[in-house]
Amino acid sequence: MIKIEMMNTVVKHLYHAFGHVFFAIALMWVTALPARAALELEISGGSAIQIPIAILPMAESASPPSTSRLHDIISNDLRGSGMFRIINTSGMPALPTSASQIKYTDWTALKAQGLSLGEVQQAANGNIKVSVQVMDVLRQTALLQLTYTVSPSQYRHVAHLIADQIYEKFTGQPGAFATRIAYVTKVGKRFTLQIADYDGFNAQTLVSSNEPIISPAWSPDGSKMAYVSFEKKKPIVFVQSLYTGERKIVANFKGNNSAPAWSPDGNKLAVVLTYGANSQIYTISADGSNLQQITKSSAIDTEPAFSPDGSAIYFSSDRGGRPQIYKVSATGGTPTRVTFEGGYNVSPRFSPDGKYLAYIRNDGGAFKVAVQDLGTGDVKLLSTGSQDESPSFAPNARTIMYATRVGGKGTLATVTVDGLVRQRLSEAGGDIREPAWGPAQAAPK
């Protein structure tokens, strides 16, 4: 009897189990059928290179301490970066002065993706208070809310700081508008080493001489400048403090002393000396001690540049018969060749992020700025001049400044690393050459 009951129970359970299995299989079969496929659209590439943005004029209660208005400076910065297209708002009937007044449909109709507005007010102690709001037009949300209280002399600097913030918000990379550059001008027979805002404004003289000054180089912390001066009738390497103006001779050896380049830690410099017989690469401590020869060849080795990690020194050499770029360990050793395309490649300069190497290439008789992607090896010619020289990367590695000649005079120009946007920086008089872009942490003014 019990056995029969047990059998019945087992049969019952088996029946249920089969029921479940059948149900599961049925459900799986039904659900495994292909779901209704949504439409799919493949989009490869993009033709937009600039972000459309509207920089609205700011309400300024006091007369602006600059010939340029704040929104003009910001607009110029962003436009010059090549990453933004500034929307012309002059035809707009009424511009909002606060976020609550923004009619987003108006701005989306103008294809604006960003919009900045704000005001400049008089603050205590003669200072000015700058308040700026940056809106995301497409999402109709606030992106940035910035407030600065500064002295009127920092009016332009604040504009650069705001431009930096907008740039970073939209591109994810830090801006380089609040940085400074160094360059050499020649007016008449007078050579001057100057330091200015990246756009050429607020220039200040660091050193002046009737003899040539060349090769300015910023220390990594932006507090010192190394350069070569011929004031003693021979090239000598100097290092000068930007805070105190104090300077000292770092390399004054027999023969030529030239082309100083700072190591990333700022402790030493690579220099070119004709100490032996021909031009060779040496390293020397920033105080002028501990000289060490890095290259030993019968060729001309010059224009050294430390790699961003400080492990290698890149330099120009004609050891292969024609000038090319080589690299050698920062402690010396056997150099290896880096450039192979083209018959003339000189003046290597690293991007701060270590991704690019810029140099000057002789392209059919014209000397142009080239940039090599160290990841892919791709080389691109960026400049269009015939006598371009001295490439120097912006701290954010997006833009390269170089010296070019226009109308027989030297001037400065910038080009974005993708080669899409070029602009001339300064129309100031004189012959301008040897630019060097300062680090991100620029020395205070």
Partner 1 sequence: MSPHDQVIRKRAAILSVLMHVLLFCSMVFMVDWKAVHVTPSVMEATLWDSLPSKQPAKSVVKPIVKPVEPPPPAPEPEPTPPTPKPSEKVVAPTPQVKQAEQAADIALKMQEDEKKRLQEEDKKKALEQKKQEEKLKKIQEALRKQEEEDKLKKIQDALRQQDMDAQQSAAAAAVDPSVLAYYMGLMKRKITSSMNAGLCPVSNPELLVDIQMTNSGDISGMPKMVKGSGDAVCDDAVVRAVLAAKPFDLPDDPAVRRKMLDQIRLKFKPRG
Binding site for partner 1 (CB under 8 A): 19, 23, 26-27, 30-31, 33, 35-36, 38-52, 83, 111, 113, 138-139, 171-173, 373, 375-376, 418, 420
Smallest separation (angstroms) from partner 1 to the CB of 47: 5
Any idea what the Cα angle at residue 151 is, between residues 145 and 156, rounded to 5°? Answer: 65
Contact in structure between 220 and 441 (CB atoms under 8 Å): no
Nearer to partner 1, 85 or 186 (CB): 85
Nearer to partner 1, 187 or 420 (CB): 420
- The continuous run of DSSP H or E covering 392 comes out as strand 389-393
Nearer to partner 1, 28 or 187 (CB): 28
Provide the strand spans (E) within 127-255.
128-136, 141-150, 180-187, 190-197, 204-209, 213-218, 224-229, 236-241, 247-251
Terminal C-alpha separation, the chain: 104
Smallest separation (angstroms) from partner 1 to the CB of 370: 18
The three-state secondary structure class of 169 is helix
Smallest separation (angstroms) from partner 1 to the CB of 83: 8
Q: Which residues contact 368 (CB under 8 A, 6 or more apart)?
A: 360, 361, 381, 382, 383, 384, 385, 386, 388
Nearer to partner 1, 21 or 406 (CB): 21
Nearer to partner 1, 63 or 141 (CB): 141
Smallest separation (angstroms) from partner 1 to the CB of 107: 11
- The continuous run of DSSP H or E covering 166 comes out as helix 155-171
Smallest separation (angstroms) from partner 1 to the CB of 49: 6
Smallest separation (angstroms) from partner 1 to the CB of 342: 23
Nearer to partner 1, 373 or 431 (CB): 373
